[in-house]
């Protein structure tokens, strides 16, 4: 069973439908007890970092998510959900994150002819083998919608990169904790392969 966290700022249904299309059982919940019992947890997200953290705190979900990560059970953050795994973000102020992974979240640097937010398809590069991105080849295209990107303290957790004016981290993985900056549920067959990799862990 894959548990998808509902904290009022995310694209729940599209993520759920993608997993179910692949044959994985899912549940969507904001119940802390359900999250504590989850076998595999997905933290989706669209919107602003600060609002997301306020919603998680208001619903009493921060401790269950951190405990899940510490338990060794699979945890996947998607888009904003991946950013929330880190220590902090400077989006519209400075906000603390979940602190599961070390590092911060920064806006793309303004440059001539660079469109922010980054919206559209970009190719991935994989600096190392990982469970989440297993079986994919360099150049596989995925769909992004974001103005901010993560900068991990530990470069060894980087599992995928992409390019938009600069090379940025598109995916992370440290043991059971993993993430995708792009939207796998909107990334056609490549995205489904990534979600299936997670579902089969």
**Catalytic machinery residues:** 79, 183, 185
Q: Find the helix packing angle between 62-71 and 49-58, rounded to 10°.
A: 90
Question: d(Cα 196, Cα 63) in Å, to the nearest integer?
Answer: 27
Q: Find the helix packing angle between 188-199 and 12-21, rounded to 10°.
A: 80
Q: How far apart are the first and last CA of the chain?
A: 11
Q: What tokens were used for 175?
A: 């043991």
C-alpha pair distances (Å), 37 with each of 29, 85, 129, 142: 12, 19, 29, 31
């Amino acid at each position: 069973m894959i548990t998808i966290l509902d904290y009022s700022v995310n694209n729940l249904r599209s993520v759920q439908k993608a997993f179910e299309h692949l044959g994985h059982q899912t549940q969507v919940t904001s119940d802390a007890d359900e999250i504590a019992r989850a076998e595999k947890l997905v933290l989706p997200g669209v919107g602003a970092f600060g609002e997301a953290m306020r919603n998680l705190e208001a619903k009493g979900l921060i401790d269950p998510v951190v405990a899940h990560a510490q338990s060794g059970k699979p945890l996947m953050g998607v888009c904003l959900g991946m950013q929330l795994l880190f220590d902090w973000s400077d989006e519209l102020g400075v906000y603390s994150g979940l602190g599961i992974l070390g590092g911060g979240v920064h806006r793309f640097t303004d440059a001539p002819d660079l469109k922010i937010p980054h919206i559209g398809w970009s190719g991935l590069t994989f600096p190392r083998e990982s469970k989440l991105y297993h079986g994919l080849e360099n150049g596989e295209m995925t769909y992004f919608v974001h103005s901010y990107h993560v900068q991990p303290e530990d470069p060894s957790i980087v599992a995928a990169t992409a390019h938009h004016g600069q090379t940025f981290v598109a995916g992370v993985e440290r043991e059971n904790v993993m993430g995708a900056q792009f939207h796998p549920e909107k990334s056609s067959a490549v995205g489904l392969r990534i979600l299936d990799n997670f579902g089969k862990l």
